Structure 1
Amino acid sequence: MIHRTGRVFGMTITPKQRAALTDAVRGGTESLFRRAATAAFLWALVFTAFHFYWFAGGRFGLGDGPKMIPETGTTKDLIWAFVITSMFVVGIFLPVALTRPWGRRIPRWITVCCLWIGSALLVVRGGAGLLDTALRETGLADRGLTGLTYQQITGDAHPSLNTKVSGICIDAYFILGGLLYGRTVLLHRRLVRGADEG
């Protein structure tokens, strides 16, 4: 750890050594930050592409239950799909906004707050889905967290292993996205603090 007193891990260093060490730490953090932001961007791109595919009627990744495709039959369903998909599209650009010059037009606190909120929502959504499945599969709660039966969710009272595994993978993918968004924000904060101290 670099301290203002000129000591690193208890050893005295010269100002020149301190500057070199600070630059090295900042460079390493910046590299980690850029990789995390890129990973979050790619995650969101795949996430959004799959949702467009599913809204268009695609089935891959949803299992084989009859009610697995998101419904868009009513105006309410279409509005909901539009709002959710718009959030996904915004989510693609948020991590990149912290790394690109055009992103400076957006106040940093807005970008960071949106990423924190997105991170929390994704982790909670994925975690709740995994817990819901675990409760059903262990027999602790036949209706899981939601109070709905498998019949109500998937259209099949006894969904196939394919459908169950697809649901678990989707829930895990939500968690992965939340962790990637969270890591991006944490590394951004470390980078900003390092610049303030430098």
Structure 2
Amino acid sequence: MTSTPHKQAVTSAYLGCAAAAGYALLKTAWALGSTLGVSDTEVFEEFLEQLGGPLLGLWATVLLALLAGAILLSLVQPWGRRVPRRLRASLAWLGFAIMAPIGLFRLGETIAAAIAGNPFPMLTPATYIFVYVCFVVLGLAFAFTAWRTRNPNSAPAPAARRRAPLSRSLAAPQENR
């Protein structure tokens, strides 16, 4: 089975959407009152109040995750062509520039703290790791999808069409021999 740049871009976009959906589901659960992955609910609630409450601290990030998925899908789905490609690609590269470094840095920091045995004041280490893996996957999906869809008109022709001129030249009558 051969993989074309378009298939790779679609796969990457769907992986990014899965990461964004995972992040959005966790934030939605918290916004609805769940304490999934929360180690200290009092510290968590204080943190949310500092951010402006659940509306800003949680629901806004859910909307951003959904927007990230829409940006990724707009690069690989026909309906996305209604928006200029430069805008879609620029948003994807911006998403990469924000999500990948934050995710990598915080993931490394979290793993180092877990190995060192440092306490985690608000969330469990697994929750931090999940969130930052979602960030890294989303950031890399932005970059890979934008890269693989950078010039949709330059996709190579299928192998059957590339061989067509050769087969036509063999089938054509040869008068000059």
TM-score by length of 2: 0.68
Residue aligning to 1:31: 7
Q: Taking structure 1 as reference, are residues 119 and 96 closer, same or farther at Cα in structure 2, changes over 3 Å only? A: same
Residue aligning to 2:139: 178
In the aligned structure 2, how far is the partner of 1:39 from the partner of 1:75?
Answer: 29
SS of the aligned residue for 1:76 comes to coil
* Mapped pair 1:108 → 2:108: no
**RMSD across aligned positions (CA):** 3.1
In the aligned structure 1, how far is the partner of 2:136 from the partner of 2:94?
Answer: 13
Aligned amino acid, residue 154 of structure 2: G
Per-residue CA shift, 1:103-138, capped at 9, x if unaligned? 122111111111111122221221221233355456
* Mapped pair 1:154 → 2:121: yes
* Mapped pair 1:41 → 2:2: no
In the aligned structure 2, how far is the partner of 1:87 from the partner of 1:194?
Answer: 32
Answer yes or no: is the 8 Å Cα contact 2:27–2:58 preserved in 1.
no
1:86, distance to aligned residue in structure 2 (A): 2.4
Q: Which consecutive residues of structure 2, in runs of 5 or more, have no partner in the other structure?
A: 158-177
Q: Taking structure 1 as reference, are residues 83 and 125 closer, same or farther at Cα in structure 2, changes over 3 Å only? A: same
Q: Taking structure 1 as reference, are residues 47 and 80 closer, same or farther at Cα in structure 2, changes over 3 Å only? A: closer
Q: Taking structure 1 as reference, are residues 101 and 124 closer, same or farther at Cα in structure 2, changes over 3 Å only? A: same
Aligned amino acid, residue 135 of structure 2: F
Whose RCO is larger (CA < 8 A, sep 6+)?
Answer: 2
Equivalent residue pairs, number: 153
TM-score by length of 1: 0.62
Normalized per residue, which structure has more helix? 2
1:90, distance to aligned residue in structure 2 (A): 0.9
In the aligned structure 1, how far is the partner of 2:130 from the partner of 2:15?
Answer: 18
In the aligned structure 1, how far is the partner of 2:143 from the partner of 2:126?
Answer: 26
1:91, distance to aligned residue in structure 2 (A): 0.9
Answer yes or no: is the 8 Å Cα contact 2:39–2:124 preserved in 1.
yes
Instruction: Identify the match of residue 76 of structure 1 among 20, 33, 52.
Output: 52
1:36, distance to aligned residue in structure 2 (A): 1.6
In the aligned structure 2, how far is the partner of 1:70 from the partner of 1:91?
Answer: 28
Instruction: Identify the match of residue 168 of structure 1 among 129, 134, 142.
Output: 129
In the aligned structure 2, how far is the partner of 1:69 from the partner of 1:101?
Answer: 42
1:49, distance to aligned residue in structure 2 (A): 2.0
Q: Percent identical across equivalent pairs?
A: 18
In the aligned structure 1, how far is the partner of 2:22 from the partner of 2:46?
Answer: 17
Q: Which consecutive residues of structure 1, in runs of 5 or more, have no partner in the other structure?
A: 1-24, 143-149, 156-161
